Amino acid sequence: MSFLRKLDLVEKVDPEIAELILKELDRQVYGINLIASENYADEAVIQVQATVLTNKYAEGYPSRRYYSGCEMYDQIERIAVERVKQLFNAEHANVQPHSGSQANLAVYLAFLKPGDTVLAMDLAHGGHLTHGSSINFSGILYRFIHYGVDRSTELIDYDQVEKLALEYKPRMIVAGASAYPREIDFKRFREICDKVGAYLMVDMAHIAGLIAAGLHMNPVPYADFVTSTTQKTLKGPRGGFILCRREYAEAMDRAVFPGTQSGPLMHIIAAKAVAFKLASTEEFREYQRLIVRDARALASSLDSRGYRIVSGGTDNHLLLVDLKRLGVSGRNAQDVLEKTRIYVNKNLVPYDEKPPYITSGIRLGTSCVAARSMKESEMDTIARFIDTSLKNRRDSTILKKVEEEVIEFCKSFPIYGD
C-alpha cells in the first residue's frame, strides 16, 4: 500500500493530479465495490505498468518489429503469449489488443465483410455494445440479429438461437455476455454453428478468471475465436487478448496489427504476462471459487430480504437484481448506494420496460469483495447495507449512518496489505 501512496514525483510536477489519485485510492479502500466488470489488479501488475516499458514503440510481432531495440519486448511478448496459451489450452494467442472492444473489432475485421450477418446476444438481455449495438461500430458495419433469454426462466433460449441461425444463416455467432449470471453452454453453440456453417466467436471477457480456474466450461475447444479482457475476473491490467486455432493465426494477427492497431502497449503486455502467471496458481483458483460462493451468498441474502434475483440465482461472479417490487429504478438505486459508498451499476433486466439510462435493475459482482477476502457472512452484511440504504433512500440520517458503517467494515478488509 505504501508503494501505491508513493507519488512524490507526481506531487512535485502536478500536485492536482497526485491529490486526485490519492483521493481515488481512499475511495477504493473505504468503499464496497460490487461493479462486476472491475477488480483490483495485483500490486505487481500495477508496478509493471509504471516502468520504462511505456517508452518504446514495438510495432509488429516478436522478431518482426518495425523498430530497433526490441530484444526485451520480444521476450516479454513471447512469455505473455505462451502463458495465456497454456492457461486456456489454446493453439494461438494475440496479446496486443488494447481492450476487449479492440479484440472484438479485430476478429470481425479478419473474418467478416461489412454487411455480413452475425447472431449475438441482445444488449438488453445481457450482451455487450460490441455485439451489434446500433450505436457501436459493430452494429454500424455488420448486420446483427439478436437472441435473448427465455421470458420465464431468464436463461439463454438455445432453441431460439438455433431457430434464428437456421432462418438468417449468419456468418458468425457470438456467445458471451456482460450481464448473464449463468454458465454458458459453448458446446451447444458449436453444434448450432455447425448446422449453418457459421464461425463461433466466444467473448469470455467477464468469466475469463472462472474459466482459467476450471470452474466454467472452457470455450477454446469449441470456438473458432475467443476474445477477452484481462481486467475483470482475470485480475490483470486493463487490456484484451484473442485466442484462436492455428489455422486462423495469420489472419488474426494481421487484423490486430496493422489492421486495427499500431504500436502495442508493451508495459501492459508485460503486466498481462504477470497476471497470466498469477492466474495459473492454486491461490488464484481458490480466489475464483470464493467469488462464486460470495455471489451465491449475496444472491440468497438479498432474496431472503425480498429482492427478486434474475433467473433465481447465479453460477458466476455476478447477479442481477430486479428492483421493480421496491418501486425504485436502477439509476436511482445506483445513486443512493453511491452515497453510502457501495458501488454498483444500473442494468436492464430481461424484458425491461425502462430505457437503458434508467433501468429496472442493478448488476452486482463479487470479484472485488472476494479479492478482499470477504466471505459468505460478509455478503449478508453487505446485503443488509444495500437493503437499509434502498429502503431508507430519502432519509439522509440513516444513509449517513450506513456510510459510516461501510467505512468501519472496510477497515477490516484491506485491498493492498496495510
229 is catalytic: yes
Question: Is 229 among the residues that bind ligand PLP (CB under 6 A)?
Answer: yes
Per CB under 6 A, the segment of 42-50, 174-182, 185-193, 280-288 that binds ligand PLP is 174-182
Give the pairing of strands 361-365 and 318-322.
antiparallel
Q: Clarify whether 203 is annotated catalytic.
A: yes
Q: Are 286 and 247 in contact (CB under 8 A)?
A: no
Q: Is 94 in the site for ligand PLP (CB under 6 A)?
A: no
Is residue 57 part of the annotated active site? The answer reads yes
Please tell me which residue in 38, 40, 43, 57 is annotated as part of the active site: 57
The span of 97-105, 157-165, 365-373, 374-382 binding ligand PLP (CB under 6 A) equals: 97-105
From CA 231, how far away is CA 368, in angstroms rounded?
11
Of the residues 65, 171, 190, 232, only one is catalytic, namely: 232
Candidates 274, 303, 316; CA nearest to 47 is 274
Element (H, E) at 65: strand 64-65
User: Could you give the 3-state DSSP secondary structure of residue 54?
Assistant: helix
Q: What is the 3-state secondary structure (H, E, C) of 108-121?
A: HHHHCCCCCEEEEE
Is residue 329 close enough to count as binding ligand PLP by CB under 6 A? no
CB atoms within 10 A of CB 400: 12
100 binds ligand PLP (CB under 6 A): yes
Dmax of the chain from CA atoms? 63
Count of residues of this chain found to bind ligand PLP when the rule CB under 6 A is applied? 14
Q: Which residues, in sequence order, are CB contacts of 20 under 8 Å at separation 6+?
A: none
d(CA 254, CA 261): 10
For CA atoms 161, 216, 180, 246, the dihedral sign is: negative
Helix pair angle (330-339, 376-391), 10° resolution: 110
Minimum distance, C-beta of residue 206 to ligand PLP, in the bound complex (Å)? 5
Site for ligand PLP in 1-40 (CB under 6 A): 37
Cα–Cα distance between 68 and 55 in angstroms, integer?
13
Is residue 59 flagged as an active site residue?
Answer: yes
Q: Given the complex with ligand PLP, which of 33 and 99 has the nearer CB atom?
A: 99
| 94, 178, 311, 332: residue in contact with ligand PLP (rule CB under 6 A) | 178
Classify 363 as helix, strand or coil: strand
**Residue nearer to ligand PLP on the CB measure, 307 or 343:** 343
String of contacts with ligand PLP for each residue 125-164, x by CB under 6 A? ---x-x----------------------------------
Q: Which of 59, 150, 303, 405 is catalytic?
A: 59
As a whole number of angstroms, the distance between CA 62 and CA 102 comes to 20
Binding region for ligand PLP (CB under 6 A) out of 94-102, 215-223, 262-270, 319-327: 94-102
Which one is catalytic: 238, 296, 331, 346?
A: 238
Kindly state whether residue 363 participates in binding ligand PLP, applying the rule CB under 6 A. no
Subset of 200-219 contacting ligand PLP (CB under 6 A): 203, 205-206
248 catalytic, yes or no? no
Q: Which amino acid belongs to residue 175?
A: A
Which residues form the catalytic set?
57, 59, 203, 229, 232, 238
List of residues contacting ligand PLP (CB under 6 A): 37, 99-101, 128, 130, 176-178, 203, 205-206, 229, 240
